[in-house]
Structure 1
């Protein structure tokens, strides 16, 4: 699984400076990448997520009601921007895909070089 992460300040700066043309370019880039990965049989699922202001964190409290915290995150905390569940034959291919996600176009079409994490998804236990 590929996870795209951002800090709130970085996210706010990028999203706040995108023009309509930038948004169209970003959407087109991601649609084309998704189509390519689907044709190759590598993309199982992907989603972009709402920004940090829409996050709700729930934590169990022993003997009490769950603690529920509404976003936004603190400016220095990373949050999940989106994810891709991919199935590839090698780590090298996963890195190649992750690098392409990292260079998604931002303001003015320049690559954002956003942090991307790769997580193995092991088979379910029998």
Structure 2
């Protein structure tokens, strides 16, 4: 089994398939989207492939060590950005192909008008061992 992080990217920019931004969805459309995500996670929990997941607030800060012990903090990410990480899910699957299949299915969550939103999901394998250095 290998763990993968699925990062859900919300793109405020027009999507050629379903270009209605989430802030313009009806409460019913938002509820249907959330229910799809929950049903997806529940199904993967039953198969043993679900590890964890969480939606993220659009509010956040950037922090970076400054070399003097006082990390500077700046605003961001901003909700009006064209690309915002909206949430994540960790899955534990037998093959890379299975991770891609699940990401594709999750990308089809319904949006405005019940149409699949075809959102971008970043699929990142967990690093399981340090890279080998050869000379």
| Alignment match, 1:3 | 7
Q: Kindly provide the CA deviation profile for residues 32-54 of structure 1, in whole angstroms up to 9, marking residues without a partner as x.
A: 10110000000000111112xx1
Once the two structures are TM-superposed, the CA of residue 97 in structure 1 deviates from its matched residue by 0.6
Change (3 A) 1:122 1:72: closer
For residues 23-102 of structure 1, what are the structure 2 equivalents within 5 Å? 23-51=30-58, 54-63=59-68, 65-73=70-78, 75-76=81-82, 78-102=83-107
Greater Rg over alpha carbons, structure: 2
Q: How many residues of Structure 1 are paired with residues of Structure 2 in the alignment?
A: 120
Change (3 A) 1:43 1:105: same
Answering whether residue 22 of structure 2 is matched by residue 15 of structure 1, we say yes
- Write 1 or 2 for the structure with the bigger share of helix: 1
Tell me how far apart the structure 2 counterparts of residues 64 and 35 of structure 1 sit (CA, whole Å).
43
Structure 2, unpaired ranges of 5+: 15-19, 131-135
What TM-score does the superposition give when structure 1 sets the normalisation length? 0.84
Q: Kindly provide the CA deviation profile for residues 88-108 of structure 1, in whole angstroms up to 9, marking residues without a partner as x.
A: 011111011101111111111
Secondary structure of the equivalent of 1:28? helix
What TM-score does the superposition give when structure 2 sets the normalisation length? 0.79
Tell me how far apart the structure 2 counterparts of residues 9 and 31 of structure 1 sit (CA, whole Å).
25
Answering whether residue 112 of structure 2 is matched by residue 119 of structure 1, we say no
Secondary structure of the equivalent of 1:87? strand
